[in-house]
Amino acid sequence: MTRRDAPLETLAHTGPWRERHPADKAVLALGLLVCAVALPPWPGAAVVGTVALVLLAGPAGVGPGRAVRLLRAPAAFIVVGALPLLVAVGGPTVLRWDPAGLARAGELVGRSLAATLCLLLFAATTPLADVLPRLSRLGVPPAVTEVAALIYRLLFLLLDTARTVREAQAGRLGFATRGAALRSAAGQAGAVFVRAFDRARRLDEGLALRGYGGDLAVDVDAPAPSRRFIASSVLLLAVVVTTTLLLRLVIA
């Protein structure tokens, strides 16, 4: 599998920013996210979204095509969610066109797409395994991070189980007809549920036999945060804010 077709987590593990401290990438990506939420939607959303997309396609190593493909599903969800803003309820008809709705929908879509690109920038460069152990240092209860880590681990195991079951059913013509497809889907759901229950039971027994006392010690090996990278990120954020405000003055 090439990076062009790799899942998001694979991109995070193999990208050029893999060895950077999560704080470096958090300052950049989450700082852009704050800009996307706090700055005026126009032209703030356009400026922030463009910067995030350029970073994804270039320095982050995701590539323009892959970045666009990662954005397609969230973009469809955002557009569908903005459609109700185009109509109003009541009046002579049950539903009517709202003249002011187009502007509100455009602001919502622009701001949401920019924020999504900022989150993708962080997710495509920072594996979750690097983030969870450090959340406890920020005051997050260890039980929360450990449950998240276990769910994250089991999620991939169950997806692999579902894929294996589906391939076996397809090899036995389990999807040849609509009735067979329904039976196969029900069997697949049952198999995944049983496997998930068994995995959880075995995991609980394993932790108990190892004397689990409520805290899983994880050794995190990563370089210290880069002052140069953080300073460059702060400078970029300042440029984004300044550019947005200047463009807004020019447009106004």
pLDDT tens digit sequence for 68-99:
888 888 899 998 888 888 887 766 666 777 77
Identify the pLDDT of residue 2.
46
**CA-CA-CA-CA dihedral for 173, 179, 182, 186, to nearest 10:** -80
Comparing C-alpha atoms, which of 63, 65, 69, 29 is closest to residue 49?
29
- pLDDT value at 101 more than 50: yes
Residue 4: is its pLDDT beyond 70? no
Give the pLDDT of residue 1.
45
Rounded Cα gap, residues 151 and 140, in angstroms: 17
Q: Determine the Cα–Cα distance for residues 113 and 28; give it in Å rounded to an integer.
A: 17
Instruction: Report the C-alpha gap between 252 and 234 in whole angstroms.
Output: 27
pTM of the complete model beyond 0.95: no
Share of the chain above pLDDT 70, in %: 90
